[in-house]
Structure 1
């Protein structure tokens, strides 16, 4: 498959399972995820015929592996959430769940690495230019969405998104819960300019790595080393200030999750339990049934 953007889509196979909360089409969405992933990736790299065939096969194999191997582990994560849902949650417990999810994401990325390298080696200069232009468009969209908003509107937009995700789990939130979320966001260290700067650093790192992979006579082991180095720099940025900011955002997220959950009512927590159980049933059925037949 492909680069950091491909890796994000691969990771989406797992993230979708955790974030599809309350969607009535969980199974349909998961079963069609390989097709969605292919077209998403093609938008970044504009595959030729040979690449398209190989990428579709790689995605299908990764999807099948994820279905058989990772869905049961995602179910275990949901079981952990279900056990916590009826009571109070601490920030430490929230961070523990976050770390478990992070490990699952890394497992998917590691599984995909050989296919990523293979595709990266086949990319042409025109495709790298296509990727660079796509990065530029994405960055422009990010500026419009976050940097050009007044602080008050930015807070409202973040609140809207958090409420939407939370209501998929707990049902409708009432003013006491909304007030807790507003307070958490008002104290946030979220800095969209700093996020954009790190995003652009990763993009340039990715483009430089891909160009290094075009060197004549490069051996496969060298290519894997270059790509692995890039992935390591994504996991741990060379920018110490960004690493500190990222850790602050993580800890803040854990505290906010705990505060938001602890503000919910017994009825809302029971709704969360029932929905978590429903998603677990969906995942078990997906894992048991295997890949759907294609017409």
Structure 2
């Protein structure tokens, strides 16, 4: 398949906010479908199969596990993503995973590395998600996803053990793309520096999206790639989409992020794009925001 060619794409939904800070993200797969993501991909000539949704999970406080809330539901969601992404990969398709929380990346990479141990991940996120229950008291597992993929000390073993390999990823096969250094905890900085993870900041992405994406891609070997997009990487004022409203007037605008995303997803090694942390209630006052986002996804793929 050429970079601009027709693709077979399976769309997988993961309507879960179980590992998040609050309810809301579980609505994203439904809303993205209602706004026409499947139809827009088909209009661009792709052969698209809607693989349906995994378990619907809505966040609730978990007093029994305050530092790793709703871990049982998270495992059920991640395991479902793993199985359905794996099935699509075995069928030779590309995959678009609609979250839900950022924890969809765990299921994606568990499936992809089980089939290609040299697979890599471009993690497009304002945050590096390297926290553990030892570095934050928030208890939101979606702030800890990459830590579990890298098997850093202090993670939740029950969640790590639900993944197919340990570690799922090594530091040379991860690139943090779009990070805001001011949004990084002290614990995350220590983990990032200890592992030597490569980083492109959100400021760099905004300044030259294409060059930033090409530079990130240049560091990977020939193995397949997954791209994970947490919508909080975006300037919230330009595109009010994310559960986290803290990225106001900082980070790339949607058009800039979309340009970088297109470069990443058109690389010949690309296999899976996962989307997380979109809370549809955030854009009630800006009705075009979700439509613009759907257009950006369709163009990127």
Could you tell me the TM-score, scaled by structure 2's length? 0.28
Q: Per residue, is there more helix in 1 or in 2?
A: 1
Q: Per residue, is there more strand in 1 or in 2?
A: 2
- Whichever of the two has the greater Rg, that structure is 1
Higher RCO (CA < 8 A, seq sep 6+): 1
Could you tell me the TM-score, scaled by structure 1's length? 0.29
